[in-house]
Amino acid sequence: MKNTIHLYVSPKNGFAWLMTVLLAASAVTRIVLYYSMPNPGNVWWSLVLPVAATLLYILITMLQGQEQFYKTAIPVWMLALFAAVWAKDGLGGRATIALFWIALFCIAFLYTDITSGIRFHRVWLLFPIMLTPLAAIFYYNRQAIFAKDWPAALALLPNSLLFLGCTLLIFAIRIHPAGEYHPTWGDRVDGRRIRSLSPTYTIIPYIMVNRNGAANLFEEHFEITNAERYIRQKRREGLTNFGLVHVFLACFCRGIAKYPGINRFISGQRVYSRGEDIQFCMTIKKDMSTDGEETEIKLHLTPRDTADDVYRKLNQAVEQAKNSPADAGVDNVAFVLTLLPGVFLKFCVWLLKTLDYFGLIPKALLEVSPFHGSIYFTSMGSLGIPPVYHHLYDFGNLPVFGAFGCKRKAYELQEDGTAVERKYVDFRFTVDERIVDGFYYASFLKYFRRMLRHPEVLDNPPEAIVKDIV
C-alpha cells in the first residue's frame, strides 16, 4: 500500500469537459441509431447497458473524480460486458470469440489496476488501453470505410466517440501528492480499510463474528481532583456549562492523537480506521423528566480539538437537538421504520445489515445512525446512579461504549500515615477487542489518566498527530 498512487480528475479541466461532450454525443447517437434500425436487437444489451455505462462514466468523473476516479472501472466493466455480448453474435468461430473475451478481460483488468494505482503506476499505460479498441473498430470495419458505405460508417460513431472521449480524458488525469491518503477499492465512506494487519488479526473477525461476542468489560476509577479545578477555571473563563463530559471527550480526542488504533472499527469482517474523524454518539433528554423525550446526537471531533473546541461543538449539537422537532434526524428515520408492518420491518433491518456489511449504506443514513461511530458515552452520574456495563450493538460498527457514574469521595493513606481526601469517578467500558490488543488499550488508558491529572494541556492542540497504520 505504501507504493499505491491515487489518480484524480478535476471537473474544471478542459479535457474533462471535452470527454463529457464526446461521451454524451456517443450516448445520443447510440439511441438514435438503435431506433432507426429495422432489427435493433435486445434493448437491454444493445442500448440500456452501453448508454448507462457511458452516462455513469461521465457522472463518476465529473462528480467524484477528485477522490474516487478509480470507480470509473465500474462502467468500464459494464462496457466490457456489452462488448462480450456483441462478440457472441457479431463474431464467427469459438476461438475468435474466446480470444476477444480474453482481450476484453485484460483491458478491463488493466484499467482497474491502473486507475486504482495498485501495481501499475504509469498513467500513459491508459493510452494503449483506449486506443487499441478504437484501432480495432476501424480495422474491423475498414472495408466499409474505404468503400464509403456511410450507413455502416455511421454505425461506428457511438463506439468511436466513446473511446475518443476516454482517450482525451487521459490528458486530464493527475496524481495526488505523495503522503496523502485517498479512498480506493475496499474502503468505506466512513473509514479506510487497514491492509497491513498481521494474519492473526485479519482472521479474528471471521472467528468472533458478533461485536458483543468479542467484547471485553473493564472498570476504571479516575481521580478528578485536578479535573474539577480545571472545570472551575473554565467556567470562570465564560464556559458556563463546562463539565466532566467535556473533559472526558477532550481527553479521548487527545488519546487518539497518540493512539489512533482506538479509532478503528470492524465492518464486514474487515478492520477500518476513521482516521481523524472521531464520531461521538450520545443520548440526551430534551427535558429532565421520566417521560421526557430522548434523542441521539452525533458529534464529529478531531484529534486536534482542544477543550474549548469540544465544549463549543458539543453545546451546539445539544442545543440543536433540543430545539429540533421530534421528526428530525434519527427520530425521523426511526418513525418511518415504525410505519412498516412487522414482517417488512424485519426485512428492512436485514437489508440494512446486509448493505452495512458491504459498506453500501448511504452516508446520509450513517450520519444519523447512533450505531456507527467511534465511541458512545453515557453519563449515569446525571441520573444519580452507578455506571453500567453497556452492551455493544451488533448492528453498526461502534467499538467502544463508556459509562461513568456519580462523583465520590475516598480517603487515602499517605506514606506518613496521614489521610487525604480525593475525588473519583467510576468508569465502565465495553470495548471491541478485535480492533487492537489489550496492551494497546492499557497504554491508551494510562495516557487518558495522565491527561486527567494534567488537564491544562487540553487548552492547546497536540504537538503531533500519530497516523494509523496503512
In 170-306, which residue ranges form alpha helices assigned H by DSSP? 199-207, 225-236, 244-258
Q: Cβ(302)–Cβ(462) under 8 Å?
A: no
H-helix or E-strand spanning residue 142: helix 142-146
Helices (H) and strands (E) in the chain, counts: 17, 11
Q: What is the pLDDT of residue 205?
A: 94
Q: What is the pLDDT of residue 136?
A: 81
In 298-426, which residue ranges form alpha helices assigned H by DSSP? 307-323, 329-338, 342-357, 363-368
Q: What is the pTM of this model?
A: 0.83
> Environment class of residue 417 by beta-carbon count within 10 Å: exposed (0-12), middle (13-18) or buried (19+)?
exposed
Complete DSSP assignment for 344-366: HHHHHHHHHHHHHHTT-S-HHHH
Query: Listing from the earlier edge strand, what are the strands of the sheet with 419-432?
Result: 215-223, 419-432, 400-413, 375-379, 278-285, 294-301
To which residue does cell 471527550 refer?
249
- The CA distance from 143 to 145, in Å, is 5
- The CA distance from 185 to 195, in Å, is 11
Indicate the residue type of 318.
V
Q: Cβ(293)–Cβ(305) under 8 Å?
A: no
Q: What is the pLDDT of residue 417?
A: 79
Beta partners for residue 272, in sequence order: 193, 265
Taking Cα atoms as reference points, which of 259, 229, 260 lies closest to residue 244? Answer: 229
To which residue does cell 506518613 refer?
416
Computed over its alpha carbons, how large is the radius of gyration of the chain? 29
Indicate the residue type of 24.
A
- The CA distance from 442 to 448, in Å, is 10
| Residue ranges of the chain with per-residue pLDDT less than 50 | 1
pLDDT digits (tens, 9 = 90+) for 68-103: 999 999 999 999 999 999 888 777 788 989 998 999
Q: What is the pLDDT of residue 290?
A: 57
- The CA distance from 352 to 350, in Å, is 5
Taking Cα atoms as reference points, which of 446, 454, 410 lies closest to residue 230? Answer: 454
CA angle 12, 14, 18 (to 5 degrees): 120
Q: What is the pLDDT of residue 1?
A: 44
Indicate the residue type of 280.
F
Q: How many alpha carbons fall within 13 Å on the CB side of residue 163?
A: 21
Contacts of 114 (CB under 8 A, 6+ apart): 7, 120, 122, 123, 125, 126, 129
Q: What is the pLDDT of residue 107?
A: 92
In angstroms, the Cα distances linking 79 to 46, 48, 49, 157, 163 are: 11, 11, 7, 16, 11
Beta partners for residue 188, in sequence order: 191
Q: What is the pLDDT of residue 133?
A: 85
pLDDT digits (tens, 9 = 90+) for 127-168: 998 998 888 888 777 777 777 776 777 888 999 999 999 999
